[in-house]
């Protein structure tokens, strides 16, 4: 039998998705979202009861009696069904009820509900089996803590719920450790809701899962938590998830960038406002959770002590600063008589906590924030003690992350760095970033710790690491915008004029080395000379290199790849030679082949030779072939057909042979397959135009421009377009048809976009004249369009 159900507020049948709202939802209309969750629950309740009643008439079934019930658990039990979420139900029965009769009931129950469109996550358990499952699996137990009778024997459900709850409390000391490990794994996998680039509303730390866990922890009676605040934050996240389901028409918890715009529109806010609201709710929920876990850990540590004497007392570890508790469950507090209004004390306490890897007591942090000076008082430059304590905090390593999080939640960061408000919880526009801008800045400080011994001024490095993206919260190029901001902050923090200029310059040029290294030919002497004109000194070069590496490591695995690091290090050493004058650098002495790589022998070469070696986490392909017009284009086409993505290429001609070098991120390149494909293409057996000369879907505006630089040994052509197979082939073919040649190319990929730079020369190996340069540019633009 198929159960059909209506609703007092909805005419849809069970399980069907609600229509998308047609107007943006104001803050007041969010009550409708919460009412809709209740309506969905009531709809499903009616469907389940109708199906159950058709099988077990009023008064019960003589063969079954009263020992069976349909139970809502999890989100369904809490009455918060999402538009496309699962319906979690358990058919539970007394052990005495015949198994055959229960199976008959289950089969008659599930099929009508599936026919109604419900996405059932169902189970059938005996009372003893249910209790045993809850004992052995904390997820089952937590789901049962929210159990609610939908149909059948309510007394059975109440009794079983009471027994499961008693077992939950009895085994709490073991269970909470399983919960803690599970939360740690989720945090590693999904990150913090407040700071990851693509937050998971359910699984990220500070997400919906954490809120449910907090309710479970309170149910153990081992710890308390402000459940009113938790429920309010959880409700905010549920509102966003409901709209996310509606606009995506599927059950998803990831707030992907492509969906965020539509979700924000439905909620009546901008995309940026939505992201900040979601992340702020996650940040506050995570803060409550961390505090709760810490108090629980302290409770368990205290109860495990043999006597009160075994419990560590507050021990002073710095002037005015003490450690309360033991090495495991301890935290940093103020000692008796310490003055919270002492601004140096706040910095010292934070630095002590970060260096020790211990949390800063929330009570202490709140007291320090309440006693912090007014905004006008912060304009006075800090003294040497405060500046030193700040540097100690920023150089503390991984412990900085949690301590800074605590400082930010209570508002102390705003007293020290009001500019932080512009980047707090802000997502990055770059697809390679794994964190929000503020979290990325802190992570850069942590990563800078690996480079402190490589620079003359570690203090300036870490301050620049904190401030390198401070301009991203305002309009304009963030490096240029951030430069004067960083200078003002450094002066306010008590650094000298000269030191403040260094910090400002580091912020201004923090992208210089990775940009030049990955988009320019570092074997061209003019590249190093142009960089040397900017950095001027070895000391600044070392600081800039350390900041570049720290920034890349804090960004993503792509930004910290061995290939990228190798290029930066190679560029730094070439710039160092220019700065020190220890080498004979001539701008017109381009050799074209990296010094550290041996030039392949041309002796005995007959036809085409392909070599492949491991290189910077990928592969380096060297191809030797008789020189011929258009050879580079055909080689690029052959590699495109072989599925080889490229980082760079370069070619030189000697003794009638063209020797080309191709860097690829792939580490599994099969030399023989590549060689066979190259030979087929060079023999004319493959029509590259037919295979590769196709318009890029959705790319109706490729950009091709000439890059003007001083002291260039080649004409630089930059291409910005959607990534596509054969793009380098198309460019090389157009350049060749214009009577020029590509000396080297350097590929940068940003999501689906590429920004490739080609070094183009004439037949004599010299830069093109203005007319020829424009001809090449136009030919390439036409080829890509």
**DSSP symbols for 626-649:** E--TTHHHHHHHHHHHTT---SEE
**DSSP symbols for 66-102:** T-EEEEE-HHHHHT---TT--EEEEEEE-TTS-HHHH
Confidence label for 591 from pLDDT (cuts 50, 70 and 90): low
Q: β-strands 120-126, 87-93: how paired?
A: parallel
DSSP bridge partners of 704: 719
- The torsion angles phi and psi of 156, rounded to 5 degrees, stand at -60, -45
Give me the chain's average pLDDT, please. Answer: 87
**Which of 302-311, 415-424, 706-715 has maximum average pLDDT?**
415-424
Q: Would you call 524 helix, strand, or coil by DSSP?
A: coil
Residue 394, Cβ density class (10 Å: 0-12 exposed, 13-18 middle, ≥19 buried): buried
- Whether 24 shows a pLDDT value over 50: the answer reads no
120-126: strand order across its sheet = 120-126, 87-93, 68-72, 148-152
- The torsion angles phi and psi of 61, rounded to 5 degrees, stand at -105, 130
**Which has the minimum average pLDDT: 37-51, 469-483, 547-561?**
547-561
Q: What percent of the chain has pLDDT over 70?
A: 90
Handedness of CA 308, 310, 314, 316 (dihedral sign): positive
**Which of 14-28, 43-57, 308-322 has maximum average pLDDT?**
43-57
For residue 356, what pLDDT is reported? 92
Neighbours of 117 (CB within 10 A): 13
Look at 305 and 132; give whichever has higher pLDDT: 132
Mean pLDDT for 215-225 is: 93
- Whether 636 shows a pLDDT value over 80: the answer reads yes
- Whether 35 shows a pLDDT value over 70: the answer reads yes
Mean pLDDT for 729-754 is: 87
- The torsion angles phi and psi of 396, rounded to 5 degrees, stand at -75, -15
Question: What are 505-541's pLDDT values in tens digits?
Answer: 999 999 999 999 988 888 888 889 999 999 999 999 9
For residue 12, what pLDDT is reported? 36
Please indicate, yes or no, whether the overall pTM of this predicted structure exceeds 0.75: yes
Question: What are 246-266's pLDDT values in tens digits?
Answer: 999 999 999 998 899 999 998
Expressed in percent and rounded to 5, the helix, strand and coil fractions of the chain are 55, 15, 35
Token reading at 527: 């590249």
Mean pLDDT for 338-352 is: 92
Mean pLDDT for 759-784 is: 92
Q: Would you call 438 helix, strand, or coil by DSSP?
A: helix
What is the C-alpha separation between 81 and 36, in angstroms, rounded? Answer: 9
Token reading at 471: 């301009």
What is the C-alpha separation between 682 and 660, in angstroms, rounded? Answer: 15
- Whether 23 shows a pLDDT value over 50: the answer reads no
**Which residue blocks in 509-630 are alpha helix, DSSP H?**
512-519, 525-535, 538-555, 562-580
For residue 303, what pLDDT is reported? 62
Q: Residues 550, 553, 556, CA angle at the centre, nearest 5°?
A: 145
In angstroms and rounded to an integer, the radius of gyration of the C-alpha atoms of the chain is: 33
For residue 17, what pLDDT is reported? 37
For residue 398, what pLDDT is reported? 95
For residue 327, what pLDDT is reported? 62
**Which has the minimum average pLDDT: 148-152, 160-164, 300-304?**
300-304
What is the C-alpha separation between 129 and 164, in angstroms, rounded? Answer: 11
For residue 564, what pLDDT is reported? 86
For residue 702, what pLDDT is reported? 87
Look at 742 and 617; give whichever has higher pLDDT: 742
Look at 432 and 616; give whichever has higher pLDDT: 616
Look at 409 and 31; give whichever has higher pLDDT: 409
- Whether 18 shows a pLDDT value over 50: the answer reads no
CA distance readout (Å), 595 to 159, 336, 526, 570 = 79, 64, 16, 10
- Whether 99 shows a pLDDT value over 80: the answer reads yes
For residue 41, what pLDDT is reported? 92
Mean pLDDT for 576-580 is: 91
- Whether 307 shows a pLDDT value over 90: the answer reads no
- Whether 632 shows a pLDDT value over 80: the answer reads yes
Q: β-strands 657-664, 618-626: how paired?
A: antiparallel
Number of alpha carbons in the 13 Å side-chain half-sphere of residue 98: 9
- Whether 680 shows a pLDDT value over 80: the answer reads yes
Mean pLDDT for 669-698 is: 87
Confidence label for 117 from pLDDT (cuts 50, 70 and 90): confident
Mean pLDDT for 317-341 is: 85
DSSP bridge partners of 360: 332
**Which has the minimum average pLDDT: 26-40, 72-86, 342-356?**
26-40
Question: What are 459-501's pLDDT values in tens digits?
Answer: 999 999 999 999 999 999 999 999 999 999 999 999 999 999 9
Q: Would you call 650 helix, strand, or coil by DSSP?
A: strand
What is the C-alpha separation between 438 and 13, in angstroms, rounded? Answer: 46
What is the C-alpha separation between 209 and 221, in angstroms, rounded? Answer: 20
- Whether 1 shows a pLDDT value over 60: the answer reads no
- Whether 284 shows a pLDDT value over 90: the answer reads yes
Q: What percent of the chain has pLDDT over 90?
A: 61
What is the C-alpha separation between 702 and 684, in angstroms, rounded? Answer: 30
Look at 214 and 378; give whichever has higher pLDDT: 214
């Amino acid at each position: 039998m198929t159960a059909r159900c209506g609703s007092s507020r909805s005419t849809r049948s069970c399980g069907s998705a609600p229509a998308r709202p047609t107007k943006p939802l104001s803050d007041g209309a969010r009550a409708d979202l919460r009412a809709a969750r209740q309506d969905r629950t009531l709809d499903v309740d009616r469907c389940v009861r109708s199906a159950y009643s058709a099988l077990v008439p009023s008064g019960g079934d003589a063969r079954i009696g009263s020992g069976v019930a349909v139970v809502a658990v999890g989100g369904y039990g809490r009455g918060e069904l999402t538009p496309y979420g699962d319906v979690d139900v358990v058919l539970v029965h007394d052990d005495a009820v015949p198994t055959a009769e229960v199976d008959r009931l289950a089969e008659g129950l599930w099929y009508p509900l599936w026919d109604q469109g419900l996405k059932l996550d169902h189970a059938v358990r005996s009372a003893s089996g249910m209790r045993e499952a809850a004992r052995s699996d904390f997820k089952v137990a937590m789901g049962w803590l929210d159990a609610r009778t939908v149909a059948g024997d309510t007394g059975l459900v109440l009794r079983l719920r009471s027994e499961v709850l008693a077992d939950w409390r009895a085994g709490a000391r073991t269970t909470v450790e399983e919960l803690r490990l599970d939360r740690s794994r989720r945090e590693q996998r999904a990150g913090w809701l407040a700071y990851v680039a693509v937050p998971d509303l359910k699984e990220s730390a500070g997400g919906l899962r954490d809120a449910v866990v907090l309710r479970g922890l309170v149910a153990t009676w081992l710890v308390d938590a402000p459940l009113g605040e938790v429920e309010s934050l959880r409700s905010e996240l549920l509102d966003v998830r409901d709209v996310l389901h509606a606009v995506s028409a599927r059950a998803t918890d990831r707030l992907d960038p492509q969906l965020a715009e539509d979700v924000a529109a439905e909620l009546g806010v901008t995309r940026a406002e939505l992201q900040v609201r979601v992340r702020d709710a996650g940040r506050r929920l995570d803060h409550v959770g961390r505090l709760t876990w810490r108090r629980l850990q302290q409770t368990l540590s205290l109860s495990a002590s043999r006597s009160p004497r075994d419990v560590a007392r507050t021990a002073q570890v710095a002037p005015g600063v003490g450690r309360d508790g033991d090495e495991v469950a301890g935290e940093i507090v103020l000692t008796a008589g310490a003055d919270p209004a002492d601004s140096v004390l706040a910095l010292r306490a934070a630095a002590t906590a970060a260096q020790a890897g211990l949390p800063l007591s929330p009570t202490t942090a709140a007291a320090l924030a309440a006693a912090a000076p007014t905004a006008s008082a912060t304009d006075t430059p800090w003294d040497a003690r405060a500046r030193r304590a700040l540097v100690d905090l920023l150089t503390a390593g991984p412990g900085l992350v949690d301590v800074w999080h605590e400082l930010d939640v209570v508002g102390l960061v705003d007293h020290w760095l009001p500019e932080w408000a512009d980047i707090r919880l802000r997502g990055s526009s770059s697809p390679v970033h794994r964190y929000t801008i503020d979290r990325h800045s802190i992570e850069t400080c942590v990563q800078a710790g690996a480079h402190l011994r490589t620079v003359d001024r570690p203090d300036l490095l870490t301050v620049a690491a904190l401030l390198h993206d401070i301009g991203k919260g305002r309009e304009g190029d963030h490096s240029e915008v951030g430069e004067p901001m960083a200078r003002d902050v450094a002066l306010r923090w008590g650094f000298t004029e000269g030191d403040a200029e260094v910090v400002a310059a580091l912020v201004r040029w923090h992208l210089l080395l990775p940009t030049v290294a990955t988009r320019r030919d570092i074997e061209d002497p003019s590249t190093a000379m142009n960089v040397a004109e900017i950095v001027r000194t070895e000391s600044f070069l070392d600081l800039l290199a350390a900041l570049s590496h720290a920034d890349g490591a804090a960004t993503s695995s792509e930004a910290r790849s061995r290939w990228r690091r190798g290029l930066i290090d190679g560029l730094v050493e070439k710039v160092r030679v220019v700065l020190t004058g220890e080498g004979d650098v001539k701008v017109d002495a381009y050799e074209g082949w990296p010094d550290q790589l041996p030039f392949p022998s041309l002796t005995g070469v007959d036809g085409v030779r392909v070599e492949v070696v491991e290189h910077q986490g990928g592969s380096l392909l060297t191809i030797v072939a008789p020189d011929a017009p258009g050879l580079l284009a055909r080689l690029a086409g052959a590699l495109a057909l072989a599925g080889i993505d490229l980082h760079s290429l370069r070619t030189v001609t000697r003794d009638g042979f063209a020797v080309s070098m191709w860097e690829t991120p792939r580490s599994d390149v099969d030399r023989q397959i590549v060689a066979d494909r190259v030979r087929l293409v060079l023999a004319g057996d493959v029509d590259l135009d037919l295979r590769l000369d196709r318009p890029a879907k959705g790319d109706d505006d490729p950009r091709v421009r000439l890059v003007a630089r001083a002291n260039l040994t080649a004409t630089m052509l930059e291409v910005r377009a959607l990534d596509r197979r054969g793009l380098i082939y198309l460019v090389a073919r157009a350049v060749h048809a214009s009577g020029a040649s590509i000396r080297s190319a350097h590929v940068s990929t940003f999501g689906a976009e590429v920004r490739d730079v080609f070094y183009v020369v004439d037949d004599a190996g010299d830069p093109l004249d203005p007319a020829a340069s424009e001809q090449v540019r136009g030919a390439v633009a036409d080829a890509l369009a």
